[in-house]
Amino acid sequence: MGAFDEAEEILLSLIIKFEEQQLESKNQEKLTPKQKLRIALIYDERMDYLESKEPLVSSNIINEIYPTLADLYIQSKSYKKAIENLEIAVVNKHKKAFKTRLFFVLAQLYHLENNFKASLYYQEVVERNPEYEMAFQAKINRALSFSGRDSKAIKSQLLKMLKDDKNIEYFDQIYYALAEISFKNDAEELGKEQLQKSINLSTNNLSQKIKSMKRMGDLFFEKSQYITSYLYYDSIQKTALKAYKNKNQVDKKYKLLKNIFIHKTLIEKNDSLFYICSLDPKQRTDKIYEVLDLELAKRAKKSEAPLLTNSNKELSIPSSNSPD
Residue 319 has pLDDT above 50, yes or no: no
Q: How confident is the model at residue 175 (pLDDT cuts 50, 70, 90)?
A: very high
State mean pLDDT over 250-276. Answer: 82
For 267-318, the pLDDT digits (tens) are 777 767 777 778 788 877 887 778 788 888 888 777 765 554 444 444 333 3
Is 194 within 8 Å of 179 (Cβ atoms)? yes
Residue 10 has pLDDT above 80, yes or no: yes
Give pLDDT, residue 278.
80
Question: What pLDDT does 15 receive?
Answer: 85
pLDDT in tens, 90-140: 988 889 999 999 999 999 999 998 888 998 899 999 999 999 889 999 999
pLDDT category, 165, cuts 50, 70, 90?
confident
With 90 as the cut, is the pLDDT of residue 212 above it?
A: yes
Position 125 scores a pLDDT of: 94
The pLDDT of residue 318 is 36
* pLDDT tens string 29-88: 566 777 777 777 888 777 766 666 666 667 788 888 899 999 999 998 999 999 999 999
What pLDDT, on a 0 to 100 scale, did the predictor assign at position 317?
34
Ranked by mean pLDDT, the top range of 75-79, 149-153, 201-205 is 75-79
pLDDT at 150 > cutoff 70 = no
State how far the alpha carbon of 131 is from the alpha carbons of 126, 137, 138, in Å: 10, 10, 11
How many C-alpha atoms does 265 have within 13 Å on its Cβ side?
9
- What confidence score (pLDDT) does residue 266 get? 82
pLDDT band at 321 (very low <50, low <70, confident <90, very high): very low
pTM: 0.65
Decide if pLDDT at 320 tops 60: no
